[in-house]
Structures are given as structure tokens and as C-alpha cells.
């Protein structure tokens, strides 16, 4: 009889281990949840750095250019580190914009190396120092550029070093942007590895380890004194994020 109960105990223990193993496998195989960063009707969960004009219209987030504002950023309240982000965007032809990732605010006046957008014939950068004011929003940016130079999708550091790789090198990437139409970004930030795709075409593939976490933000570029740019808009929709 004791042997019988011992057999039953062993069988039950093995069944328990199998159930635990199956449960662990099920959890490990579960796909990461896709998060909608924009609810389609309000700016709940977002905050404005810079004061520019952001609002919701027809299920889109709209940034509208106006005089008197610096570069402004509509940023998530939550910080994100490793993720895959997809977003649809449309920009009027006179504006410049971008998608910020792992972005933050300088707590004090800060000096950084500045590469800017100027490149020498041999591909080297013109280096200088740049002083950024306290409260300046800064971080990695995926460029939105509707001009003929066609640098959309390149990786830039707003309020910092500038372009982190040479833009305009890939002809297919330069041709991927659709003027005055909706475009699609796929953006991956995983550890020190950044990758971007514009309408399915690869653009940036960069390793950089300066910033590990920060806000995701939508940039409305300042227009200085350019009255021709007043009322120009940039629009975003379908902002979906999957944490890695």
C-alpha cells in the first residue's frame, strides 16, 4: 500500500512540474503588448515643452507653426528605453520636424560637442562647442525633412551633437519620402542600437550609447521670423509602441 501511495505521489509531482514548465513556456512565448500612445481624441498622457501649438483634429495630433515659439515638443509623460515604434506622419512642405526618442531636459546650462549638419568633402564633421540653456529639450531625433535634400529617417541629436551619421548617402532612402502625403516610420531602439525605416526602406543603422531612456516626443520646429511658414502643419497618427 505504501508503494502504491508513493507511485501516486511521484505521478502528481511530475504532473505539477509539467504544468509549471508549460506555464513558464507560455509566458515566455507571449508577444509584447502593443501600446497606443495616442487615444485618438485627447492629449492625455502628453506634455508640451516649448509652448508651441499642438491640438487634436480628426483623429490626428497636429502641430501648427506660429511666430514667437522655439522648437517645441509634445512629449509622453512616461519614459521609454527599448522599444519598437511605428507612426504615420504628414508634413507641410515648408516645415521641418522629427520624432524624438529617449529625450530629456537639461537640468542646468550644458555645453556639448556640436557636429551640426555641415559635412566636409571627405565626410568628416566640423566640430564646435555649443552651450544649451537650462530647460532645453534634447535627445535622439528621427528627422522629418520634406525638402529636396531628403534627409527624413536619419538619426539626429536635437540639442546635442547633431547628425549621428552622414545623411543623404542612400539614394533609395532619399526617394522613399512622399511629399504632401502620409508617410510611415518604423523605429527600433534596443540597447545602443538604433534602426529606422521610412515607408519600408531602411535609413539609419547606428550604434550610440549616450542615452538609455527618455521621453518620446513630436517636434514642431520653430519658424523664427518667417511669416511664410505661419499656419504650416505637421500631423501624426497611429502611434503604436511595443516594448522590447
Q: What is the pLDDT of residue 4?
A: 45
pLDDT tens string, the chain, 244 residues long: the values are: 544 444 545 444 544 544 544 544 444 566 789 999 999 999 999 999 999 999 999 999 999 999 999 999 999 999 999 999 999 999 999 999 999 999 999 999 999 999 866 667 776 777 889 999 999 999 999 999 999 999 999 999 999 999 999 888 889 999 999 999 999 999 999 999 999 999 999 999 999 999 999 999 999 999 999 999 999 999 999 999 999 9
Burial class of residue 120 (count of CB atoms within 10 Å of its CB; 0-12, 13-18, 19+): exposed
Q: What is the pTM of this model?
A: 0.85
Q: What is the pLDDT of residue 191?
A: 98
Amino acid at each position: 500500500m505504501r508503494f502504491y501511495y508513493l507511485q501516486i505521489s511521484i505521478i502528481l509531482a511530475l504532473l505539477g512540474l509539467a504544468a509549471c514548465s508549460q506555464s513558464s513556456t507560455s509566458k515566455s512565448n507571449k508577444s509584447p503588448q502593443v501600446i497606443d500612445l495616442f487615444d485618438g481624441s485627447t492629449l492625455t498622457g502628453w506634455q508640451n515643452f516649448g509652448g508651441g501649438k499642438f491640438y487634436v483634429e480628426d483623429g490626428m495630433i497636429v502641430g501648427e507653426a506660429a511666430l514667437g515659439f522655439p522648437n517645441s515638443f509634445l512629449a509622453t509623460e512616461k519614459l521609454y528605453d527599448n522599444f519598437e515604434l511605428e507612426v504615420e506622419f504628414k508634413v507641410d512642405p515648408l516645415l521641418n520636424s522629427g520624432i524624438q526618442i529617449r529625450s530629456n531636459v537639461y537640468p542646468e546650462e550644458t555645453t556639448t560637442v556640436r557636429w551640426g549638419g555641415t559635412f566636409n568633402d571627405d565626410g568628416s564633421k566640423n566640430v564646435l562647442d555649443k552651450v544649451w540653456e537650462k530647460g532645453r529639450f534634447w535627445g535622439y531625433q528621427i528627422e522629418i525633412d520634406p525638402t529636396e535634400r531628403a534627409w527624413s529617417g536619419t538619426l539626429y541629436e536635437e540639442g546635442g551633437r547633431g547628425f549621428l551619421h552622414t545623411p543623404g548617402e542612400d539614394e533609395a532612402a532619399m526617394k522613399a519620402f512622399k511629399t504632401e502625403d502620409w508617410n510611415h516610420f518604423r523605429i527600433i531602439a534596443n540597447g545602443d542600437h538604433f534602426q529606422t525605416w521610412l515607408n519600408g526602406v531602411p535609413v539609419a543603422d547606428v550604434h550610440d550609447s549616450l542615452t538609455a531612456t527618455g521621453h518620446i516626443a513630436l517636434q514642431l520646429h520653430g519658424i523664427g521670423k518667417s511669416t511664410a511658414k505661419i499656419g504650416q502643419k505637421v500631423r501624426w497618427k497611429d502611434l503604436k509602441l511595443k516594448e522590447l
